[in-house]
Amino acid sequence: MTSSRTLILIKPDGVRRGFVGEVLSRLERKGYALDALKVIPPNVEKLEEHYAEHAGKSFFPGVISYMSSGPIVAIVASGSGVIEGFRALAGATNPADAAPGTIRGDFAQAPSGGPIENLVHGSDSADSAEREISIWFPEL
Ligand code: ADP
Ligand code: MG
């Protein structure tokens, strides 16, 4: 498989709880390259663009509020199969369903009624990756 790239966000709960190093370590141990990385202050406009596919859903306002509750870390990582590979490292969307050994399975709990706080985002396709990279890294 040829190298591809993906957009990863360490969400506000991940930054607040001190999991930036842990996530970077898992990327490095897997052998993915870090192409770009930055800390980004809360930005509702970019978050609404990032999550545009979910606009209109009942959980959308809660997710925007959660995602703008503190700084995030945005990363472009590359490697063979990195899009699917990082989503496997992250685990299922709901931490209640995420297997032990995954980031969400190891470090996040079942949602308690509000938005699902699950530490990380990873692009779900090559098209999504390019769209999301252009939001957070317009300079790339
Ligand atoms: P993923 O991040 O695994 O790609 P989605 O794209 O479906 O998941 O959803 C984006 C984010 O919105 C999730 O990571 C989670 O933080 C939140 N979310 C998704 N579904 C729900 C839901 N039913 N209730 C609350 N929050 C949700
Ligand atoms: Mg998604």
Q: Where are the domains of the chain?
A: 3-123
Q: What is the pTM of this model?
A: 0.98
* Residue ID of nearest Cα to ligand 1 atom 25: 115
Structure tokens at 37: 């990385």
Residue 123, ligand 1, Cβ within 6 A: no
Distance 9 CA to ligand 2 centre (A): 11
CATH architecture of 3-123: 2-Layer Sandwich (3.30)
pLDDT tens-place string over residues 43-61: 999 999 999 999 999 999 9
Nearest to 91 by CA among 113, 116, 61: 116
Which residue has the least CA distance to atom 27 on ligand 1?
A: 116
- Determine whether the shortest distance from the Cβ of 27 to ligand 1 is under 6 A: no
User: What are the structure tokens assigned to 79, written together?
Assistant: 């490697």
Under DSSP, the state recorded for 114 is S
Residues 91-103: what's their mean pLDDT?
A: 98
- Identify the residue whose tokens are 């001190």: 18
- Residues with Cβ within 8 Å of 82's Cβ and at least 6 positions away in sequence, in order, are 3, 4, 5, 6, 32
pLDDT value at residue 1: 72
Is any atom of ligand 1 closer than 6 Å to the C-beta of 87? no
Half-sphere exposure of 59 (CA within 13 A, CB side): 12
